[in-house]
Amino acid sequence: MDQLLDHLVYGTPDLLGAVERFAAATGLQPVEGGRHPQWGTRNFLVGLGGTTYLELLGPDLDAPSSIVDFTGTDRLLTWAIHPADLEAAVVAARAAGAELGEVGPMSRSTPTGETVSWRVSRAAQWPYDGVVPFVIDWGTTPRPATTMTDAGELLGFRGSHPQATEVRAALAALGADLEVTEGPPALTATVRGPRGEFPLG
């Protein structure tokens, strides 16, 4: 597994349904992370070992709107890495042709009322359809995966893109390790739990 890998983002228009299907397939119960007031989204989290986790992300039905487009089938939207220097990573990616946007603060409210904060790169669109990751720094906040008791196994994480050469150059600039082949824009992976496997993609 890529040592920089922080988490995968799995988008779904039916968040609670996806959580139920994931738990039934794997035997792993996603834990509610909270709500992102800035985005109008809500998430559930599953540990993948070490400091890596899967984020199940969907619209917050109590919010007036969401800035993330969840239309279509459930799929991996993008992924995140945690380099040592976010600003330097953004500059390196930009020089390689991938615009990660500016680094800024973000937060979510947990079900217990706490606020979890971090710094993250935010672009108008995910670079190269999400196949190039965004960057994140949790600062003094404990990484979500370290607070979870259950952990699944991440299998076969890879990507494809019609501009595979450019994507590989951006990944190299970020120091990120992902196998990318030429094809339609996509990220695919599988999570294995004690009961079975759940395909992401």
Global pTM reads 0.94
Res 168 pLDDT > 70: yes
Average pLDDT, integer, range 74-89: 96
Question: pLDDT tens digits, residue range 14-39?
Answer: 999 999 999 999 999 999 998 887 77
- Could you give the 3-state DSSP secondary structure of residue 154? strand
Structural domain total, the chain: 1
Read off the pLDDT of each residue in 138-151 and give the average, rounded to a whole number.
84
When the pLDDT of each residue in the chain is averaged and rounded to a whole number, the result is 92
Q: Read off the amino acid at residue 107.
A: S
In terms of residue numbers, what domain contains 25?
Answer: 5-200
pLDDT, tens only, 96-120: 999 999 999 988 878 888 888 899 9
Q: Phi then psi for 97, rounded to 5 degrees?
A: 100, 10
Q: What CATH number has the domain bearing residue 149?
A: 3.10.180.10
